[in-house]
Chain A
Amino acid sequence: MMKIIRPALVSMIVFTVLTGIIYPLAVTGIAQLIFPGQANGSIIMKDGKVVGSSLIGQPFDDPKYFWGRLSATAPFPYNSASSSGSNLAQTNPALVEQAKGRIEALRNADAEAPASVPADLATASGSGLDPHISRAAAAYQIQRVAKNRGMEESKVSALVAAYTEGRQFGILGEPRVNVLRLNLALDDPQ
């Protein structure tokens, strides 16, 4: 019997120390040494102040900013302390209501906006914190942002292009625009 009980109990301690303490500490050490920026949340600094994380989206509904994906986090959108998707089924009427609400808000902010809204702009992201929108969703908003800021559309377009990331290594993922970084750049043209 001891031949089973001793290794069962000792293995509990040995594996907890090996995989629960030594392993995460070793990875933390390597991470902090080689990739400190990434390991600590990819923080964006401006004039010595923290202004956001390039990976975590923020909520925008002011017409002078680009808007991101819808967010289903509770109790308010883009609550990064509590990530969540909407979990609405395709057949759930609430999903259609959610999309219609967004389309209406986009139209209210810009009466001349096109009738057809890009899919990612009318749907909630999986995390509720998605920092990106598609190029179509950015293009959809260029006219509104330019009008509300009194900027030329070509200048806004140039900024959108500057903050568009292509597919990684030319193949992986989808081309996308980082909303927070674009909006920060709009506020600070340098």
Chain B
Amino acid sequence: MTANGVIQIALYLVVLLALVKPLGSYMAKVYEGKPFWSSRVLGPVERLIYRLFGIQADEEMSWKTYAVAALAFKFAFFFLLYLILRLQGILPLNPQGFAGVSPDLAFNTAVSFITNTNWQSYGGESTMSYLTQMMGLSVQNFVSAAQGMAVLVALIRGFSRRSAETIGNFWVDLTRSTLYILLPLSIIMAVMFVSQGVVQNFKPYKNIPLLQTFTYDTPKLDADGKAVIAADNKPITEPAKVLEQTLPLGPAASQIAIKQLGTNGGGFFNVNSAHPFENPTPFSNFLEMLAILLIPASLCYTFGRMIGDRKQGWALLAVMLIIFIPFLILSYSSEQTGNPLLTTAGVDQAASYFQPGGNMEGKEMRFGIANSALWATATTAASNGSVNSMHDSFSPLGGLAPMVLMQLGEVVFGGVGSGLYGMLAFAIVAVFVSGLMVGRTPEYLGKKIEAFEMKMVALVILVPAACVLLGTAVASVTAAGVSGVPNPGPHGFSEILYAFSSAGNNNGSAFGGLSANTPFYNILLGIAMLFGRFWVMVPILAIAGSLASKKYVTPSAGTLPTHTPLFVLFLASIIIIVGALTFFPGLALGPIAEHLMLYK
């Protein structure tokens, strides 16, 4: 690790933490529904939307109605997005003339974007029209994020209300999240990204002459477009001359802003934020990284304020940092160490005044090692899944850190809304376990935790883990699964494990070498994403409903305080233990085995 790298990371954390309180208290105002400055400006739009919906803003829902509304809403959007993807060939704003997307890829992509995963089996600049990107994918970035925030707010109401039947109105929470939080932040971010060089236009791709033209060997094709095979069974090649480069363009900045802020992560271009048009400078990189954790971190403060005890929010944020920082250090130091095999081959990987050194395979020069490792851990701690370097080429332990952060259930920051509601589920487990230790009925934030809550929490924790392990098992033993694996040895297994860890926990990043655009992976990963999102969301709403209906229990001398350093450490340990028990065998077969091979 270099001094400058550590300074850049420290600066990032300081700026992030400085924004938690202002943004967190702003969001609390948005959800409390009292008049505030931005509702005075956008209030008429908000009221118009409710009139179109045919709803009353103060009409509240039971948890079941809330869940049905949330699911119906996603169901409708799934069909719209699927149709746009299938029909993009005949829809406008398609200057490159891309054809409609295949059924299995359209299913995978539609599921991926409605579940806030943004797993991408396709390359953006070679598959998706401008219309699909902005009216299909970008829209999902907003509404799937807003849905996660709405469900979190419903759960918070479950804690803060006493003997109540309802947990809020889904349409109102959804609209407020989008209108007052996501849209204004996205506009600010998008314009700042453009200032750094992120493209934003509707022009067709631009051809540019190369300064030095060159030729390369391409397989010779016969009249039917098949490769011509020589007598020795090798394809015959012929030289092809390359005179120019085709620059992809499009409305990228507007999509990138929300894909970072909404923990979506679906890139406009194939290599996501490693692409110079998606992330052109170190400053754009700083802002994009900030946008990854900004809302998930700030929601901790929003939570504390809405339940009337800010210390509880800070305690949860502390748990997140306690888990995040060690994994960040592991990834950074491991990447800075470089690759011993390349050192033997004559590559200088030592950091110096003149070069960042380290493992530069799959990394961009402008970001170097520190910013690549920081991004990789932030994007997987949050369920963002965008990348600014290729995780597949990370060192075994450098890649283990992002994998574990996903496997912990996306609760360390996690998705906007979904991360904190997952963390609250773990907090319920922690008070339950400590209640067992001292033989008292557990309570959290003044609510008794009973059998129903524990059953739902078990679903929240076990369903994504089951998706990861079952999916990995199926893919590892079937020909269709194994045939997509490009790298030999334990790393090949890591690629499969990473894919299902990402899909089951709605992250969306990948060990990108895996050929996932096959019906097998598109469908299996699609199912993992659906289960991982909605089989968590619905039990959370059930908990919200159950808690809201309970009386408030006044804390007594025997109540476990949940804002102390002791509880923070205890909760962090619970998260790590549950994750380690579930995934250590898998990790031992993948990244740990690969590490031992490399340093034997």
Contact = CB atoms under 8 A, between A and B. Distances in A.
A151 interface: no
A90 B341 contact: yes
B356 interface: yes
Contacts of B174: 11
B210 A58 contact: yes
A85 to B, nearest CB: 4
Contacts of B196: 38
A89 B493 CA distance: 12
A42 to B, nearest CB: 5
A69 B364 CA distance: 9
Contacts of A51: 208-209, 211
A85 B362 contact: yes
Contact of B197 (A42, A84, A134, A169): A42
Contacts of B8: 171-172
Nearest to B49: A14
B194 A137 contact: no
Nearest to A103: B346
Given A23-B254, A82-B123, A172 B211 contact: no
B102 interface: no
A132 interface: yes
Interface in B184-200: 186-187, 190-191, 194-200
B218 A28 contact: no
Nearest to B258: A19
A103 B347 contact: yes
Contact of A174 (B125, B194, B366): B366
Given A11-B171, A39-B194, A28 B200 contact: yes
Contact of A95 (B209, B341, B594): B341
Interface string B406-445: 0000000000000000000000000000000000000000
Contact of A59 (B135, B178, B212): B212
Interface in A1-19: 3-12, 14-16, 18-19
A87 B139 contact: no
Contact of A90 (B135, B372, B395): B395
Contacts of B366: 130, 132, 173-174, 176
A133 interface: yes
Name the residue in A5, A41, A89, A118 with the highest tally of chain B Cβ atoms < 10 Å from its Cβ. A89
A53 B197 CA distance: 10
B342 A95 contact: yes
Interface stretch (B277-285, B298-306, B308-316, B320-328): B277-285
B55 interface: yes
A31 B194 contact: yes
Contacts of B359: 90, 119, 123
B75 A8 contact: yes
Interface string B214-242: 10101000000000000000000000101
A168 B282 contact: yes
Query: Interface size bucket, B side?
Result: 35 or more
Interface string A147-165: 0000000000000000000
A39 B214 CA distance: 29
Given A40-B199, A91-B489, A119 B360 contact: yes
Interface string B227-271: 000000000000010100111110101110110000000000111
B205 A19 contact: no
A172 B365 contact: no
B135 A21 contact: yes
B191 to A, nearest CB: 6
B355 A118 contact: yes
A158 B5 CA distance: 28
Interface residues of A, number: 105
Given A28-B254, A119-B347, A86 B361 contact: yes
Nearest to B242: A76
Nearest to A139: B354
Name the residue in A9, A26, A31 with the highest tally of chain B Cβ atoms < 10 Å from its Cβ. A31
B270 A83 contact: yes
Contacts of A82: 123, 125-126, 270
Contacts of A79: 245-246
A123 B199 contact: no
B202 interface: yes
B14 interface: no
A56 B364 CA distance: 12
A95 B339 CA distance: 10
Interface stretch (B386-394, B446-454, B534-542, B578-586): B386-394
Contacts of A116: 346-348
A126 B390 contact: yes
Nearest to A126: B274
A134 B367 CA distance: 11
B570 interface: no
A111 interface: no
Contacts of B388: 126
Interface in A48-83: 50-53, 55-62, 65, 69, 75-76, 78-83
Contact of B211 (A27, A35, A180): A180
Nearest to B277: A55
A55 B4 CA distance: 24
Interface string A92-135: 11011001100100000000000111111011111111111111
11 contacts: A11-B53, A23-B186, A24-B138, A30-B187, A31-B201, A39-B194, A83-B269, A86-B393, A120-B360, A123-B363, A134-B365
Given A19-B142, A139-B354, A173-B371, 17 more contacts: A3-B55, A16-B80, A23-B183, A28-B254, A41-B206, A42-B280, A58-B210, A59-B212, A60-B211, A80-B245, A87-B392, A87-B393, A90-B394, A90-B396, A91-B341, A117-B347, A135-B353
